[in-house]
Every structure is written in structure tokens, then in C-alpha cells.
Amino acid sequence: MKIEIQSFKDLKNKYNLSENEKAFKESDKTLPISITSHFLSLINLEDENDPLRIQVFPSVLEEEENELENIDPLEEINNSKSSRLIHRYESRVALLTTDICPMYCRHCFRRRFTGKMMGAISNEEICEAADYIQKHPKITEILLTGGDVLTLSDSKIDFLVKTLREKNPKLIIRICTRMVVTAPSRITNSLIDIFKKYNSAPFYLLTQVNHPRELAPEAIEAVNKFLNAGIFALNQTVMLKGVNDNYDTMEELCNKLLFNRIKPYYVFQGDLVSGTAHLRVNVNKTIEIEREMRKRLSGLAMPNFMLDLPKGGGKVPLSDCYLKSFENNTYTFKTIDGQEREYPHIT
């Protein structure tokens, strides 16, 4: 895996930056700058507003203060059982396996944690997490997230999966990674072989693809390695201004994912994380896009649009409402193209 840009200085020296990009000031509060060679090769550098570029080139707009935002709007710290295990929903936990990513997304919602150079989870922390799950039998799934879990070495991943599965053989494991689009060469046969060894319960691959151009042939090949090992693939997209906040791009993205055997799972409304306001889309617009996608996309290609509510409220769907009223024992619904239909109440 080659990381072409490792600092803001690097970026300034190598590329012609726009005014907003140039005015960015790096500090210990900002998310680090890192861009992989692979992702850079997909960017049209002539275009200041290229939808891939604005996800990874920093901007002075990240420094704008907004009182509605903070560094932990989902109150993940409150729901944390250790520095790395988040237990917000009864049936599933999220494990922050590392804070490192090969490439940092400017819209990252876990900025409070990501890129702080804490590094990989220790073996001791892995054992603690496995014990915690064993003591809470209602937990059926774990999300291996971060940072990017696939920045861990093969031997660390082996230990992690082995430990989790030894103590909890039926635990479903989600591999949450953006590596298939940031650095697809990381998906080696030996990595896949590790997952194959611990097959007492399913794995699911959860990718993050925000624009159809990110699905380059190398990314598709990387996902195919998981699929061919029997690991089902789902995608989570972040709604981003100037990236995918229009009908045609969202439609193309969902169809391209589905065609490549990646089920569109969630589209997330941007969280109120400091430094990401310039990439955030109005909730109204997200709902409008959701409504149009319901017309254009097949049920298989249609993701759930979600909002992770502030103050740790958890996820709720963002969607138009089709039930208009309930009167005289009759439900009145709106059809997808805006007509009305009635359905009786059954007593």
C-alpha cells in the first residue's frame, strides 16, 4: 500500500491548491492529512470541486466554529465500556480496533478518536472486549471499526478474530473498512484466509463508498475476494455536499454497488461533528433524495437513509411519510407518485 501524501506540507508542495485548501492550518486539533496513491489516481486534479478530492483535501472551512457541533455528538464516550468498546444498542457492540486509517476523510464523524496516533488495540484490550461480550449474551454482533481495522497487521487480526470467536463462537463479525476504496491492495489472499479459519459464525463486510467513481476495478476485485470467501458485502454511504447530494449520482452509486454484489445498506445524514459543516447536507434535501430514490431504485438497490441523533439518541430512519391520516376507521396513504389510497382498519 502506497501513501503518497502524508502531511499538509507534502500536499502543498506537490499540488496546485485552491484558496480554501491553501488557507487550511494544520494543528493538533485537526484531523491528519493522508492520501493513498490509489485514491489520488482516481481524483481529477484539474477540478477543485472533484467529488473525490473534497473528501480528502483539507479546507479552511474545517476551522469554522459552530455552536451546534461538538467532537462527540453521538455521545460515544458516554456509551463506552472501555476506551475502545462502545455498547449503545443492546444486541451489538462497536470495537474501535485502531485510530489509524491509510487515508483520512475530511468528513470523518469519529474525529475525536481518529488519527490521534494511539495505534492498534492491545492483546489485553482484545481479551477484555471478548470477556465483556461473553458476559452479555444479548450481544449477537460486533462491529470491528476504528479508524480502519484493516490497518492492523495480519497477525493482530488473526489474534482478534480468534479471541472473539473462541469466547463467543456464534458472534457475527462486521468488518467495517474503507480499505477496499482507499488501498485495495491490502485485501490479500492471506488476509481472507484468516477470516476463513474462524468460520463458526458469519462475517459481513461493511464498506464506505460515497461516489460511483470510488468503485474502481481494483476496489471491485478486492470486494470479490470477500464475496468469493462467502463474506456478504454491504455499503454505508455518507451524504456529502458536492459529492453525492443529487439524484443522478446517488442513483448511479446504488446501482453500481448492487451490480457488484454490494448491497446498499445505509446512507447517513452527516453528524454534527466539528469541522464538517461545509460537507453537510440539509435534512430536507436528504429526505427529498430518499423520496426520489424510492421511485428510481429497485428494493434491492435502495438503502435506508439514517440519522444518528445527537446526544446519543441513536439511529432513526430519515424518510418521507406515506401514512397521511387515520379517520373513520380508514388509513389514508400517499402513493409514491403522490396520489391517495385508502386502507381499512381491521378491528
Positions marked catalytic: 88-89, 92, 101, 105, 108, 110, 271, 308, 315
CA distance 178 to 211: 13
> Which of 11, 52, 54, 94 is close enough to bind ligand PLP by CB under 6 A?
94
> Which of 92, 106, 110, 256 is close enough to bind ligand PLP by CB under 6 A?
92
Half-sphere exposure at residue 230, Cβ-oriented, CA atoms within 13 angstroms: 10
Q: Which is nearer to ligand SF4, 164 or 240 (CB)?
A: 240
Distances (CA, A) of 99 to 102, 113, 145, 209, 334: 10, 6, 9, 19, 45
In contact, 104 and 31? CB cutoff 8 Å: yes
Q: Which residue type, as a one-letter code, is found at position 171?
A: L
Q: Is 28 helix (H, G, I), strand (E, B) or coil?
A: coil
DSSP string, 191-245: HHHHHHH--SS-EEEEEE--SGGG--HHHHHHHHHHHHTT-EEEEEEE--TTTT-
Q: Which is nearer to ligand PLP, 34 or 97 (CB)?
A: 97
The verdict on 175 binding ligand PLP (CB under 6 A) reads no
Q: Which is nearer to ligand PLP, 215 or 307 (CB)?
A: 307
The verdict on 273 binding ligand PLP (CB under 6 A) reads no
- 149: nearest Cα among 95, 109, 213: 95
**Shortest distance in whole angstroms from residue 236 CB to ligand PLP:** 8
The verdict on 143 binding ligand PLP (CB under 6 A) reads yes
The verdict on 85 binding ligand PLP (CB under 6 A) reads no
Q: Which is nearer to ligand PLP, 143 or 160 (CB)?
A: 143
25-33, 89-97, 177-185, 237-245 -> range binding ligand PLP (CB under 6 A):
89-97
Angle between helices 123-135 and 154-167 (to 10 degrees): 20
Q: Which one of ligand SF4, ligand PLP, none is in contact with 110 (Cβ closer than 5 to 8 A by kind)?
A: ligand SF4
**Shortest distance in whole angstroms from residue 237 CB to ligand PLP:** 13
The pairs formed by 223-230 with CB atoms below 8 angstroms and a separation of 24 or more are 223/180, 223/260, 223/261, 223/262, 224/261, 225/187, 225/189, 225/192, 226/175, 226/187, 226/192, 226/195, 227/261, 229/192, 229/195, 229/196, 230/202
**Shortest distance in whole angstroms from residue 89 CB to ligand PLP:** 5
> Which of 18, 20, 89, 242 is close enough to bind ligand PLP by CB under 6 A?
89
The verdict on 307 binding ligand PLP (CB under 6 A) reads no
The verdict on 178 binding ligand SF4 (CB under 6 A) reads yes
**Shortest distance in whole angstroms from residue 19 CB to ligand SF4:** 24
| C-alpha cell belonging to residue 272 | 454534527
Q: Which is nearer to ligand PLP, 86 or 254 (CB)?
A: 86
Task: Give residues in contact with ligand PLP (CB under 6 A).
Answer: 86, 88-89, 92, 94, 143, 315
